[in-house]
Amino acid sequence: MKKITGMALVLFLAGFGPRGTDGAEKIRIADAGRRQVEVPQDPKRVMAIGPGSLRMICYLEATDRLVGVEAFEKTQSVGRPYIMAYPELVKLPPIGQGGASGINKEPDLEAVIRVSPQVIFVVSMESAKAEALQKKLGIPVVILSYGSAGRGTFDETAYESLRLTGKILRKEKRAEEVIGFIEKSRQELLRKTERVKEDQKPGVYAGGIGLHGMQGIESTDADYPPLEWVRARNLAREVARQGHVFVDKEKLLSWNPDLIFVDAGGLSLITQDYQRRPDFYRTLKAVREKRTYLLYPFNMYTTNIETVVADAYAAGKVLYPNLFSDLDLPAKADAIYSFFLKRPVYGDLKKNFGELGRAIDLSLKTPGP
């Protein structure tokens, strides 16, 4: 502890602490952990740790300010478009393990000190731990959030955190552009599908939805955004009002969905399960009639919101082909990813998962791209 305290004192004298002499204008903010934190405005050296923290920096076009990344971010980028868009980030110094094992834990303190950030952004860290980390390092720690724990998606809390990060980085305009794009897309889809009568809607199930890793067919979400945004009849609403839920196979058989969407992240587990339990899958009408379709995984180190948006357009085109007959889905997906991340990564995602919204045959052992 003495070693860390001594290093923190060096940072303090060098001007990296909250009362440093670097001359940066200070502002006081309230973070997502309901903490009052004094931070330098428009810092040039920042760190982002925890699920989704780095992604927000990418959305705000502020990757040039990052001085280090979690070791987890250097692993495979599949399902995390922000790493696909900014591969140069993996060359930054590692500042802790990150990933599922690193949630709500301190980064590597000595590594943090070596890269000298002016602000540390964190997601999924308790307020008391963030406060303790701030005191140890003498560096402001700002808690961000994607919303209610366990929902597996995001809510308007994510907008608040995006605005807060934008305020600190003087990227307020970009933060509003991102929020505006999300809401404009959601409202467009809601308007487009508002006249579909309930008795004309097929019963839909979304399976294989990721939660703390890959999951099988039993994993679903009662308010799965791609279905919510196109007013689909999500059968999972019968067992939960919102959030992630596991349903047993007997319940799925009783629902016998007209159409099934499969999260590409869980596809391999589902096809393996098909080989073990073919009779179960063949009993499902959607599988038997080849009405099973692929959506991209967005619950990868918390919500990749751009993939939620792309998935929603894909769901709309599959469910209501007449309403979406003019939609060029690949072009739309490319435009979505390009807006959020400034680089067209849809082609890379297609190589990994196959075409968004494509029909899939679960009986194939390797229903690849």
Reference 336, options 368, 296, 308; nearest CA is 308
So what's the pLDDT on residue 153? Answer: 65
According to the model, what pLDDT value does residue 20 have? 45
Q: Residues 240, 222, 283, CA angle at the centre, nearest 5°?
A: 95
Q: Is 111 exposed, middle or buried (0-12, 13-18, 19+ CB in 10 A)?
A: middle
Report all structural domains of the chain as residue ranges with CATH numbers, in order of start: 2-171 (3.40.50.1980), 198-353 (3.40.50.1980)
Query: What does the angle CA 311 – CA 98 – CA 9 come to, to the nearest 5 degrees?
Result: 135
pTM of the model: 0.91
**Per-run averaged pLDDT (10 residues), the chain, 369 residues:** 45 43 80 96 96 96 98 87 96 93 90 97 95 97 83 78 97 97 96 95 95 90 94 94 90 97 95 95 96 95 94 98 96 97 95 95 76
What pLDDT, on a 0 to 100 scale, did the predictor assign at position 330?
96
Task: Encode 329-365: b = buried (16+ Cβ within 10 Å), e = exposed.
Answer: beebbbebbeebbeeebbebbbebbbebbbebebeee
Half-sphere exposure of 78 (CA within 13 A, CB side): 11
The helix/strand/coil state of 207 is strand
Max Cα–Cα distance, the chain, nearest Å: 70
